[in-house]
Structure 1
Amino acid sequence: MGTVNIRDARKSYGSVEVLHGVSIDIEDGEFVALVGPSGCGKSTLLRMIAGLEDITGGEIHIGDRVVNDVAPKDRDIAMVFQNYALYPHKNVRENMGFALRQRRVPRADIEQRVTEAARILGLEHLLDRKPRQLSGGQRQRVAMGRAIVRDPNVFLFDEPLSNLDAKLRVQMRSEIKELHQRLKTTTIYVTHDQIEAMTLADRVVVLNGGVIEQEGPPLELYDNPASLFVAAFIGSPPMNFLEGDLVDNTCLVLSDGTRLELPAGDPKGRSRITVGVRPEHFELSENGWPATVSVVEPTGSETQITARLAGNVVRVLVRGRTAVRPGETIHLSAAPDLIHIFDAAPVPEVAEMEDVA
């Protein structure tokens, strides 16, 4: 069984604790993405599952075994790294079959598995080439093929697309998702890119500072963020935030005295709040929150408008095209169920960067 159960996992480097009791249950065949900003601990957690990092506290179960003290080669996992980790002097066929040869798998079985993996990944015509003769995307396919031939219970992906250009990343995302749908092998995927996490995974686990902020299906996190951090991290362009005092449960008063009527009151009776609205949930209306347009960015299928609302920079995403011009005043509104209310707090800096933990 390809289940992975993480129980109160902790990791310390000396006196510095980087994972503070993380618990996750991953079902057989599930695709789970670990996502978060630099230093949140997601790569450290993946390496602990793989056995490349010792676990300081807690337990990691793969199938029905506790693997805390099991060597990486005996965990029945296969890992795909960011840098491909291919042998430059071996061709594609030899790279893909190397781990099987180390296990003394019969030559005929190796050939069969390599041929099948190459067919799945579209590498049949490249089997005799060396890594230097391949593009970045082809090298990544070879790295995935090397994992596939092992027929593991669990695939581990550590930022596998970080070295690819934007167009190729989109293509490889689709190929990885199609591969999982075909093989149905339990997959744990680490990325700093929330778009990758949202598009690939059955379930997304958002990490921040060594703890889980929220986990659930991608659209659940998008529609119902449990914290200001998740609201700021999930979504591109990011959510807009306005902080102020709630008056009579219906009006948000900003720091400069601007009063914004809210379609929905605060269910918890808080006096100072942060209101969040996603760019695509703003609507241009005749009556609403007044904002002055500063930048208009048309892309053809949609237009992004940057405006100032009572001193706050907000972004509005309009489907199609608009006649709005810089310097104009527009009025913004949003449906009540699309306005998010949080406790007042500084909006976290969650720029997407590579993980260093």
Structure 2
Amino acid sequence: MASVSVANARKNYGHLEILHGVDIDIQDGEFVILVGPSGCGKSTLLRMIAGLEEISGGRISIGGRVVNDVAPKERDIAMVFQSYALYPHMTVEANMGFSLRLAKAPKEEIKTRVREAAQVLGLEKLLDRHPRNLSGGQRQRVAMGRAIVRQPQVFLFDEPLSNLDAKLRVQMRSEIKQLHQRLKTTTIYVTHDQIEAMTMADKIVVMRDGHVEQIGSPLDLYDRPANRFVAGFIGSPGMNFVEGKISADGPLDFIAHGGARLPIPADVPAARGQDVVYGIRPEHLTIGPTGTHADVILIEPTGAETQISLVMGGATVVATVRDRLSLRAGDTLSISADPAKAHLFDAVSGKTLRL
């Protein structure tokens, strides 16, 4: 196991700069997820750590050793790709042990490591099968097993679950997290799915357009987003945003462009008349006898919860409630926001106003 350090890492393709000086420190044994929309540079960064992409500037270190010019096979890492990349003519056992055979490891050692990895992944009864006789989840386990048998310092995962159906993704992300808890190997995982990031990571790195927007634990990012982008990207459904300004007189409240008046957090410095964006998560909106009037436009029951889309203060927002309410589109109701859970963002920079 080893720590990983990325210092001022840059990546250029000709005159086009993809990564703009990325800094990330990953501790020994941490499970870190790089998350962001397509094209943000997260997979490029992972491939640079693996040595599959050249670094244009900066430094990448694994276990305290700078690896900028070190070949991928000498970095002591193992990578699991989006595609399983299994050899169709080989059995599960042969696929898992292939890298060790290339390294000319003793046959008994190969057999022992493969059997140990198969036991961890629940593949003991599948070792004689070929990939064509396996389900998608089983193939992904084999790809993971091939990485495990190498006993690397660092595991790299590049969107490994994106080819699986929704139910299997939930199962596999649980298995990957449990695997990490058992092996305690430093893991860097790339995904565009913020639910995967929230449920699996010790630390999340949110990226956009080749920049790191924020680094922190899942709940840190959820409760204290640094800017509007992070606030909207982390959480499902995403945070609600209403544009407006701080009241010029009277109580220090937020006034939406559509006229709705909402309370603001007591610990957030805001100047009277300042243009801001009010952020509130769906679960922090409450339907009751008092509050701001809102018009229902859509009801989406999910079983345990119901998501209600409303027009409030000229903006469309979503409220998540656990009660079984008798509502339909066109109804008008009263909705209130918990000021202690609200966020204010600068209207121009998008940065949080919270100190």
Q: TM-score range by the shorter chain?
A: over 0.9
Flag structure 2 segments of 5+ consecutive residues without an equivalent.
Answer: 351-355
* Structure 2 CA distance for aligned equivalents of residues 79 and 263 of structure 1: 46
Structure 2 counterpart of 1:353: none
Q: Cα distance, 1:57 vs. partner?
A: 0.2
Q: Counterpart in 1 of 2:286? A: 283
Does the 8 Å contact 1:296/1:324 carry over to 2? yes
Code of the residue aligned with 1:19 in structure 2: it is L
Structure 2 residue aligned with 1:252:
254
1:343 matched to 2:351? The reply is no
- Which residue pairs with 2:297 in the alignment? 294
Quote how far apart the aligned CAs of 1:245 are: 1.7
Residue deviations 1:207-252, cap 9 Å, x none? 0111110000000000010000000100000111000121147233
| CA distance in 2 between partners of 1:82 and 1:289 (Å) | 46
Q: Secondary structure at the match of 1:29?
A: coil
For 2:260 and 2:28, the matched residues in 1 are separated by 51
CA RMSD in angstroms comes to 1.5
CA contact (8 A) 2:242 2:313 kept: no
Distance across 1 between alignment mates of 2:348 and 2:167: 37
The answer (yes or no) to whether the contact 2:254–2:264 under 8 Å persists in 1 is: no
Which secondary structure state, in structure 2, belongs to the residue aligned with residue 222 of structure 1?
A: helix
1:274 maps to 277
Deviation at 1:104, TM superposition (A): 0.5
Q: 2: CA distance between counterparts of 1:261 and 1:215?
A: 30
SS of 1:287's equivalent in the other structure is: coil
Pairing 1:196–2:196 present: yes
Q: How does 1:60-75 map to 2 (within 5 A)?
A: 60-75=60-75
The 8 Å contact of residues 194 and 234 in structure 1, kept in 2 or not, is answered as yes
**More off after superposition, 259-268 vs 37-46:** 259-268
Q: State the SS of the aligned residue for 1:142.
A: helix
2:353 maps to none
| TM-score, normalised with respect to structure 1 | 0.94
Residue 262 (structure 1) aligns with: 263
1:312 aligns with 2:315: yes
Further displaced range: 264-273 or 288-297: 264-273
Note the C-alpha offset of 1:203: 0.2
Taking the aligned partners of 1:131 and 1:345, their CA distance within structure 2 comes to 53
Residue 326 (structure 1) aligns with:
329
Q: Report % sequence identity.
A: 63
The alpha-carbon deviation at position 105 of structure 1 amounts to 0.5
* TM-score, length-scaled by structure 2: 0.95
| Ranges of 4+ aligned residues in structure 1 off by more than 6 Å | none
Per chain length, whose mean CA-contact separation is higher, i.e. which structure has more relative contact order (CA < 8 Å, sep 6+)? 1
- DSSP-derived class of the 2:55 partner: coil
Query: What corresponds to 2:146 in structure 1?
Result: 146
Matched residues in 1 for 2:205 and 2:342: separation?
23
**Native 8 Å contact 1:274 1:345 kept in 2:** no
Cα shift at 1:263? 4.2
Contact 2:257 2:314 in 1 (8 A): no
**Residue aligned with 1:316, SS:** strand
Q: Which residue of 2 aligns with 1:243?
A: 243
Aligned 1:5-44 pairs, distance under 5 A: 5-44=5-44
Instruction: Tell me whether 1:178 sits opposite 2:178 in the alignment.
Output: yes
Deviations 1:298-332 (A, max 9, x none): 22211111111133111110014112332221111
Aligned counterparts of 1:87 and 1:12: Cα–Cα separation in 2:
33
**Contact 2:253 2:263 (8 Å CA) reproduced:** yes
> Structure 1, unaligned stretches of length 5 or more?
348-357
Cα distance in 1 for partners of 2:260, 2:246 equals 10
* Structure 2 CA distance for aligned equivalents of residues 220 and 253 of structure 1: 28
* Comparing 90-99 and 307-316, the one that deviates more: 307-316
Structure 1 residue 7: deviation in Å? 0.7
Q: What letter matches 2:6 in structure 1?
A: I
Matches within 5 A, 1:161-240: 161-240=161-240
CA distance in structure 2 between the aligned counterparts of 1:253 and 1:178, rounded to whole angstroms = 47
Structure 1 contact 301–321 (Cα < 8 Å) conserved: no
CA distance in 1, matches of 2:335, 2:341: 13
Distance 2:264 2:348 in 1: 22
CA displacement 1:178-228 (0-9 Å, x = unmatched): 000000000000000000011000000000111110000000000010000
